[in-house]
Chain A
Amino acid sequence: MYVAVKGGEQAIDAAHRLLAEERRGDTSVPGLTLEQIAEQLTLAVDRVMTEGSLYDREWAALAVKQSRGDLIEAIFLIRAARTTLARFGYTEPMNTKAMRVKRRVSAAFKDIPGGQILGPTFDYTHRLLDFGLTRDEKPEAAATAPADLEQTMPRVLEMLANEGLIEQPSAAAREPDDLTQDPLDFPAGRDLRLQNLARGDEGFLLSLAYSTQRGYGRTHPFAGEIRLGLVEVSFTPEELGFPIVIGEIMVTECEMINQFHGSNEVPPQFTRGYGLGFGQCERKAMSMALVDRSLRAGELGEERIAPAQDEEFVLSHSDNVQATGFVEHLKLPHYVDFQSELVMLRQMRADIEAKTRKAAE
């Protein structure tokens, strides 16, 4: 006689033990240390921190290791860990103008006060496999920029704004909303949109940004300024009543200059798009800035026709933890629903067969 399928629990345990074994791989090869991941897979760790919404290199490195290098899985681990952390409050707004710059470029001007500082970048490298890396060789010491990196670099867009050529950055008079504490509601303010994009999937934002460049909601962008460096984080503990610096974090910031706009009240001026992420994440920050600008279509009186201009579409589908969960949930059993469909389909076919037979008689 048939006995209902059992043994799910033991099967899961065994599958997870197998996963642990596969994760470790050949045990004659030394295991990866978290220091190696944090130091040498830096950009993977940066992405996990940015989309995981938690600045902790050590935890992010652990997540990369645990996920076998599947970054969306690593981001998911960080998000879940984040849920369990106590919240102490909000930091003061970060001042990226006071950034200790490691890299800073503008594509809008040939030279800028403070200088163009290339820093560590893949740009202009020839993408040839470097077989030297198969051996653990120490790289040559790099000459550093002649620029004084200790001085505060003025912002390119601020210089344009001083002349009135670009809109002032928008600042809401209220406290920003918080995506992690309140459900997303439409229409969303720019504060919420930027939070959503900062956590959003790099690939999704990249493709959306790309689509705007190919004509689906063009915004005529110029990379006004991209900067990477360390920024101080300040926090005001209630019992102190004044802000204290609690640390420094590495961020990438992108300010896009976009097509100009004018009205009866305001003479034509450029508009802005903004991107920010943890660590070195230029592709993400640039994509974010382009999509941010596209999502401002309504506010700027532009016709909304392209996917990247559609707030509900973009914000509802940008989160890769949500997306991967729902897509992959199709692996879960759906026996009951499928059975319901089977019953109906068979009955429909029987009805048709009966009708055909009747007609033939």
Chain B
Amino acid sequence: MNAPTYNFAYLNEQTKRMIRRAILKAVAVPGYQVPFASREMPMPYGWGTGGVQVTAAILTPDDTLKVIDQGADDTTNAVSIRKFFVKTSGVATTEKTEDATIIQTRHRIPETPLTEDQILVFQVPIPEPLRFLEPRETETRVMHALEEYGVMQVKLYEDIAQYGQIATTYAYPAKVADRYVFDPSPIPKFDNPKLNDCPALQLFGAGREKRIYAVPPYTKVVSLDFEDHPFEIQTWDRPCAICGSRKSFLDEILTDDAGGQMFVCSDTDFCARQQNQSA
């Protein structure tokens, strides 16, 4: 029994072609969820198989890949995915946001602004923004076709009525190019403004749910809100305890079991850069 030899970036070329077609369609219709024949990958569904397939389909030997999870390069799943691509494609990898041509991410958009030469690949668990309001795919598809998003506005309104504010803090729904409401994946709403008018191509892959969608470069992305309850992002009343940044998303670290806590940048590459600059 011989171990099989793998193609560049694992997927065979027919599969890559199929995925590239889906990506092209997704770019042509911003925010629209394109069904694609997702394959079983050697990592579990829900652990980034959609993002991995998108990355595998667009990866070239000249690319430099960065993989982050929760903003950090050193989190276990990011390490695992980066190793997978090193093993199956041999491409160069980096932790520096500006050196990467492709960045695969779970739950964050890097703090460092992206450029036209970069592609950001999101791992998506549930691509359908209406899913928790309407569990049926057959229904939600029709709702998108008819641009029937009232139910989402009602949900946001009910939040305000109940909590005095919109209670969605991540995977915050937004409208792409004045047409499709989409789920930006479970990034904190803090990152939603970065989606708008972004110079980089943003691709979203949902493996288990078999959907790919895209926000092309310089596309308008508007987070849903109301005139009297405008969209707002999270703020912290203190800076990062390591680099002192006041403009990044902060993770809370519990330092003891007596209520001790500190706040540090979730984007580890950004945090290291800030430290170097201030040093």
Contacts and interface: CB of A to CB of B under 8 A. Distances in A.
A326 B45 contact: yes
B223 interface: no
A131 interface: no
A339 interface: yes
Contacts of A183: 35-38, 210-211
Contacts of B83: 9
A8 B95 CA distance: 14
A158 B59 CA distance: 54
Contacts of A82: 40
A46 B75 CA distance: 37
Nearest to A78: B40
B55 interface: no
Interface in A31-90: 58-59, 62, 76, 79-87
A180 B18 CA distance: 12
A340 B169 contact: yes
A202 to B, nearest CB: 18
B234 A6 contact: no
B190 A340 contact: yes
A325 B49 contact: yes
Nearest to A355: B164
Given A336-B70, A337-B170, A342-B252, A185 B35 contact: yes
A9 B79 contact: yes
A341 B168 CA distance: 8
A332 B125 CA distance: 12
Interface stretch (A121-129, A139-147, A222-230, A343-351): A343-351
B253 A2 contact: yes
Contacts of B76: 8, 11-12, 332-333
A322 B189 contact: no
Interface in A1-37: 1-9, 11-12
A138 interface: no
B268 A8 contact: no
A324 interface: yes
A281 interface: no
B184 interface: no
B146 to A, nearest CB: 18
Interface residues of B, number: 71
A228 B190 CA distance: 59
Contacts of B167: 344
A161 interface: no
A289 interface: no
Given A2-B255, A86-B12, A312 B46 contact: no
Nearest to B49: A325
Interface string A262-299: 00000000000000000000000000000000000000
Given A9-B79, A12-B80, A325 B208 contact: yes
A343 B264 contact: no
Contacts of A182: 37
Given A2-B241, A4-B242, A344 B44 contact: no
A321 B14 CA distance: 23
Contact of B69 (A76, A185, A332): A332
Interface string B46-84: 110100000000000000000001111011111110010
B266 A335 contact: yes
B69 to A, nearest CB: 6
B138 interface: yes
Interface residues on A, range: 35 or more
Contacts of A1: 242
Contacts of B11: 83
Contacts of B171: 337
Contacts of B226: none
Contact of B46 (A6, A184, A328, A351): A328
B233 to A, nearest CB: 10
B125 A329 contact: yes
Interface string B186-197: 111110000000
A322 B208 contact: yes
Interface stretch (B2-10, B24-32, B174-182): B2-10
Interface of B: 1, 4, 6-7, 10-12, 14-15, 35-42, 44-47, 49, 69-72, 74-80, 83, 106-108, 125, 136-138, 163-165, 167, 169-171, 186-190, 208, 210-211, 234, 236, 241-242, 249-253, 255, 262, 264, 266, 268, 271
27 contacts: A2-B242, A6-B74, A8-B78, A62-B1, A82-B40, A183-B210, A312-B138, A321-B44, A325-B46, A325-B49, A326-B45, A326-B125, A329-B44, A329-B45, A329-B47, A333-B77, A336-B186, A337-B169, A337-B186, A339-B249, A339-B251, A339-B252, A340-B169, A341-B170, A344-B234, A348-B164, A348-B165
